[in-house]
Amino acid sequence: MLNRVDYANLPMKFIIFLLTFMPILGNNQIKSSHVLEQQHINLLVAQIRTAPMDPILFWNQVMLHACGNDYDPSIVSAPDQDGPGATARAFGIIHGAMHDSLIVFNPVYKSIFKHRNMPVMQNTSERSAIDAAITEAAFLTLSHLYPKQQKIMTAVRNKYLMRIPSDIIKQSAINKGIYIGRLIADSILKDRVNDGSQINQSYVPSLQAGYHQADPTHPKQGFVGAHWGNVKPFLLNFTSQYRPRNIIGDTFKSRFAYLNSQIYLNEFDEIRSMGSKTSKVRTEDQTHIGIAWGYDGVPKLGTPPRLYNQIVRVIATQQNNTLEQNARLFALVNIALGDAGFAAWEAKYFYRFWRPIVAIRQSTDKTRVDSNWLPLGAQGDGADTNFTPPFPAYVSGHSTFGSACFETLRLFYKTDTISFQFQSDEYNGQTIDSNTGKPRPARIRKYSSFTQAEMENYMSRLYLGVHWRSDAENGKILGRQIAQHVYRTAT
């Protein structure tokens, strides 16, 4: 039931806004999905007025909102961007388009992508043109990548353009901005049409010890992203350019040798103890860390790239970034995340190493079987049990993504020692815990450096019992290498 609105105490402009964008509910004729869409429109449009921010931050917020909705079955029937790799690719396209649209008018940085036949905008560096260009580029890429939320994007785009100050002269600049935003978005989207992201590729699990199989507690989970290592990267030369070192063996014989090595046996014992659902050695804080960095496809939370963007928002706002700096930082971070996804999944399906729950429930020559072992696990949405993600272990996607993000922040700000605090949506006072069935409390974590946060992210998957230490360590190395490559190439 809708709350009654006290119009008498509202400003006239806000009354007009409410009358324009609130859904008209009568006789139960409007479907619930339409009501939900309108609520999301209202929420985003309200931020234009009540929380003014530059267009990069605003459209980043819209993007993160779309990602959360993409995993909400009350909004969409199935995700448009299924899995962390697909989300990271989408984010890279969106922020690359916003960045390059700004650069046409204010070439303070090198463009991220190459564009043919792009007109030169002379004497048109005014803010209204730039705002319009960023808005149109964001709108078109978001609409293409999240088509199930097209209505939301259109309404927010129209309202945002209305807020840009205009007269006859400025309207001409706005029109130029819209034109450039369309050109840039179209250029990038056309370039990605045949990038391999839409090609389906199956994975047939091996029954040999050491190879990835489905989580036995979720045997129908399938195998996500088997083709992702074949997608054309953004700025890497090829996805296997920094493939993690072969420590786990890539033949049956070498894999068997690794399973009997002291390195593996140490990691096996570590995760069996620390990552267990009923662990006696994992501390309460370590459990919190494991869950806080999750974002494992839960409705409203989405996937890990959304979390890393939320952190970058905190840093960018705290550091008082200019519009140009925000365009650059978010583009670099999200291009690095995109290439991190391609590279990590290439490694995952090249090595196809098994997850702890499969390994611990199967004995090898030097390990003891525990057929009932359960990890703390990636968190369900309050209506499902915890799980192990549906793709191979080596390397950790979380560690690769996180290190790509934090290394980019170090490179951009030329320091590691920036303090910040962050509230994960896993602990926002609303997200339902799948173990207790109750909302988790609101908690804020504090960091004195990017490395401290990076290492928490690294360890989080070990605390959940879904990764080995070597997965995290070599994911960290891979993520940093990718961030450095993207930064060098883009500058």
- Look up the CATH number of the domain holding residue 45: 1.20.144.10
Rounded to the nearest 5°, which phi and psi values hold at 386? -65, 160
Number of domains into which the chain is organized: 2
Q: Which amino acid is at 436?
A: T
Residue 4 has pLDDT above 70, yes or no: no
Task: Say how far apart CA 407 and CA 477 lie, in whole Å.
Answer: 10
What percent of the chain is modeled with pLDDT above 90? 80
Tell me what pLDDT residue 232 has. 98
Q: pLDDT of 380-389, one tens digit each?
A: 876 667 899 9
Rounded to the nearest 5°, which phi and psi values hold at 190? -65, -40
Q: Tell whether 214 and 115 lie within a shared domain.
A: no
Q: Tell whether 234 and 184 lie within a shared domain.
A: no
Comparing 301-310, 431-440, 461-470, the range with the smallest average pLDDT is 431-440
Q: Tell whether 188 and 210 lie within a shared domain.
A: no
User: Which of 72-76's residues contact partners 24+ apart within 8 Å by CB, and which partners?
Assistant: 72/299, 72/300, 73/299, 74/32, 74/33, 74/36, 74/299, 75/33, 75/36, 75/37, 75/40, 75/148, 75/149, 76/148, 76/149
Tell me what pLDDT residue 47 has. 86
Tell me what pLDDT residue 63 has. 98
Q: Is residue 199 situated within a structural domain?
A: no
Cis peptide before 395 (omega within 30 of 0): yes
Q: Tell whether 189 and 211 lie within a shared domain.
A: no
Q: Tell whether 223 and 136 lie within a shared domain.
A: no
Residue 317 has pLDDT above 60, yes or no: yes
* Terminal Cα-to-Cα distance of the chain (whole angstroms): 53
Q: pLDDT of 380-419, one tens digit each?
A: 876 667 899 999 999 999 999 999 999 999 999 999 999 9
Q: Tell whether 217 and 300 lie within a shared domain.
A: yes
Q: Is residue 417 situated within a structural domain?
A: yes
Q: pLDDT of 6-22, one tens digit each?
A: 333 434 333 334 333 43
Tell me what pLDDT residue 122 has. 64
Q: Tell whether 491 and 379 lie within a shared domain.
A: yes
Tell me what pLDDT residue 3 has. 38
Among 193, 222, 247, where does a domain finish? 193
Higher per-residue confidence, 121 vs 32? 121
Mean pLDDT across the stretch 61-76? 95
Q: pLDDT of 326-342, one tens digit each?
A: 999 999 999 999 999 99
> Is 48 within 8 Å of 14 (Cβ atoms)?
no
Which residue, among 353, 376, 361, has the nearest Cα to 463 in the 3D structure?
Answer: 376
Q: Tell whether 407 and 451 lie within a shared domain.
A: yes
Mean pLDDT across the stretch 428-452? 95
Q: Is residue 81 situated within a structural domain?
A: yes
Q: Is residue 227 situated within a structural domain?
A: yes
Read off the CATH number of the domain in which 259 is found: 1.10.606.10
Mean pLDDT across the stretch 87-97? 99
Per the prediction, the chain carries an average pLDDT of 91
Q: Is residue 198 situated within a structural domain?
A: no
Tell me what pLDDT residue 270 has. 98
Q: Is residue 440 situated within a structural domain?
A: yes
Higher per-residue confidence, 212 vs 36? 212
Q: Tell whether 151 and 264 lie within a shared domain.
A: no
Distance of CA 275 to the CA centre of its chain: 24
Higher per-residue confidence, 202 vs 32? 202
Task: Say how far apart CA 491 and CA 488 lie, in whole Å.
Answer: 5
Residue 129 has pLDDT above 90, yes or no: yes
Q: Is residue 401 situated within a structural domain?
A: yes
Q: Tell whether 220 and 335 lie within a shared domain.
A: yes
Q: Tell whether 242 and 99 lie within a shared domain.
A: no
Q: Tell whether 265 and 369 lie within a shared domain.
A: yes
Structural domain of 223: 206-491
Task: Say how far apart CA 16 and CA 325 lie, in whole Å.
Answer: 35
